[in-house]
Structure 1
Amino acid sequence: ARAIIAPHAGYSYSGPAAAWAYKHINQSTISRIFLLGPSHHVYSTRCSLTACTSYDTPLGTIPIDTEACNTLRATGMFDDMPRNTDEGEHSLEMHLPYIFQVMQGRRFLLVPVLVGALSEGAEATYGKLFADSLGNPENLFIISTDFCHWGKRFRFTPWDKTKGEIFQSIEALDRQGMALIEAQDAEGFAAYQRQHGNTICGQHPIAVLLHALQSCPVQHQARFVRYEQSSHCRSCDDSSVSYASAVISLRECR
């Protein structure tokens, strides 16, 4: 895998789904990992970088690639995350133990990127910016996202009864978006979100990846390897979160 998409809910909920993506990583070739996650607590229309030099996890310490962060900073397109934002953002944090475990003591550096509520134009701009890094076989991209958040507590309750029960309607909606991701169709995914407004919390990191893939002049394959829901909604009082994991395999960019 050259990139993966994986969820960031509590491990008892989405841990197995995330593992389906992580098991496809070939750690022997990786020296740098870009971790892109959505901002849940702080509104921004830009991407932000950590000001930390390392992250401590229950398994050990992960060093930050401060040189790569400074290179990105020099573009003028990135803000710095305040410490409390950095520590409070679970979309990045929940992936750290997986990363540490998968890398099995190998030397690597992490580039955490908090992705704000980007416009479609900004998604394309950031995607082009990351395209060269995506083409480097020593880099791995991890896109942190859950899929549909359905229920009154999420203020999202569409139900296409032609698909069957609520949980079946949710899956149909998710899989429509997943198919566009597999097709690496950034414009189609944006149109899908405009039409349906699916509560995919990492829609902007996904879009950045899709634009990076489009700007990388080689053939690449994206496929989803796992889809789950936290529970099966059958009544309008139920709620669920969907988890989908994907693997993106690339040849080296020219």
Structure 2
Amino acid sequence: MEKIRKASHAGSWYTDNPLELEEQLDGWLRAAGLVKSSDVRGVIAPHAGYSYSGRAAAYAFGNIDPTNISRIFLLGPSHHYYTPKCALSRATVYKTPIGDLPIDEEVNDELKATGHFEYMDLRVDEAEHSMEMHLPYLAKVFQGYPVKIVPILVGALSAESEALYGRFLAKYVDDSKNFFSVSSDFCHWGSRFNYIHYDKSHGAIYKSIEVLDKMGMDIIETGDPDAFKLYLSETDNTICGRHPISVFLHMLKNSSTKIKIRFLRYEQSSQCKSMRDSSVSYASAVGKVDG
């Protein structure tokens, strides 16, 4: 029986008007001016409202060549629901205003059988925006292609659990029909986020934030999950998708397909100049087969 996850953030975080949404996505993808490549096997992209991060996200999704991909693994952080594990969806289809994406129930069952995944109920699923914000872009890029998705809500994992899930999922990296969409915003800066790290030697606050984020982005590009963990413990940077990114790095480390991550775009929601200001950073990257 079909179990639908509604596009619960359509009409608020992004438009629920299909024509308007298509036009917006088209515009951003065109503006990014990227060439599709079959070597692109994954992306790291933001998940804020489209008025904030839609343009930046195009730099990730605009690289995707949908031709040979039949399955998309979605890894998103949990904002409202606490779990020390990874959770799978009970839905059979994810709705978007511009087309629906069916869940790969076979892979869901396979993952559940490992004993390390739980199910999230539909209420938790629909409350979470981190994966939903990737869906319209994926529906757009994969329009006309028979693709299934495997949404994985990544909980508050320990370093050991991140490595464990990375090992479990690594085998899927070695199948070139699989694609990975990793959801994360970068620094959440300001007193409302309880994070006001400021290194005055870099100039204005927004410059200090950029240096901090780019240091993290450089480390992610090395593909070293331990170095990323160390960076997070030293800086406390409020990267909300740190767990999905860590799992992804462990997946790449444990797979025999060599995939190199490269960041293509960095933006901030606003430029912080005083301690009263706040901003969220957005970064878009691709994971490309290396050599």
**Interval of TM-score (by shorter of Structure 1 and Structure 2):** over 0.9
Cα offsets for 1:180-227 (capped at 9, x unmatched): 100001100000111111100000000001011111134322110000
Provide the rounded CA distance (Å) in 1 between the counterparts of 2:85 and 2:289: 27
Provide the rounded CA distance (Å) in 1 between the counterparts of 2:240 and 2:229: 14
**Residue among 228, 236, 239 paired with 2:278:** 239
Partner of 1:163: 202
Q: How does 1:1-254 map to 2 (within 5 A)?
A: 1-250=40-289
The count of aligned residue pairs is: 252
Provide the rounded CA distance (Å) in 2 between the counterparts of 1:22 and 1:60: 16
Cα offsets for 1:76-121 (capped at 9, x unmatched): 1111011110011000111111110000221010000000010001
**Aligned residue identity for 2:210:** E
SS at 1:179's partner residue?
A: helix
**Aligned residue identity for 1:225:** L
TM-score by length of 1: 0.97
Cα offsets for 1:109-161 (capped at 9, x unmatched): 00000000100010001011111101211000000000000001101001000
Provide the rounded CA distance (Å) in 1 between the counterparts of 2:257 and 2:180: 17
Provide the rounded CA distance (Å) in 2 between the counterparts of 1:79 and 1:111: 14
**Aligned residue identity for 2:83:** S
Provide the rounded CA distance (Å) in 2 between the counterparts of 1:64 and 1:128: 22
SS at 1:27's partner residue?
A: coil
TM-score by length of 2: 0.85
Q: Among the aligned pairs, what percent are the same residue?
A: 53
Provide the rounded CA distance (Å) in 1 between the counterparts of 2:170 and 2:227: 19
Partner of 2:12: none
**Aligned residue identity for 2:199:** D
Provide the rounded CA distance (Å) in 1 between the counterparts of 2:143 and 2:220: 30
Provide the rounded CA distance (Å) in 2 between the counterparts of 1:134 and 1:218: 7
Higher relative contact order (CA 8 A, sep 6+): 1
**Aligned residue identity for 1:182:** E
Provide the rounded CA distance (Å) in 2 between the counterparts of 1:150 and 1:220: 31
Unaligned runs of 5+ in 1: none
What's the Cα RMSD here? 1.0
Unaligned runs of 5+ in 2: 1-39
Q: CA deviation at 1:251?
A: 5.5
Partner of 2:19: none
**Aligned residue identity for 1:151:** G
Q: Runs in 1 of length 4+ with deviation above 6 angstroms?
A: none
Relative to structure 2, which stretch is displaced further, 45-54 or 127-136? Answer: 127-136
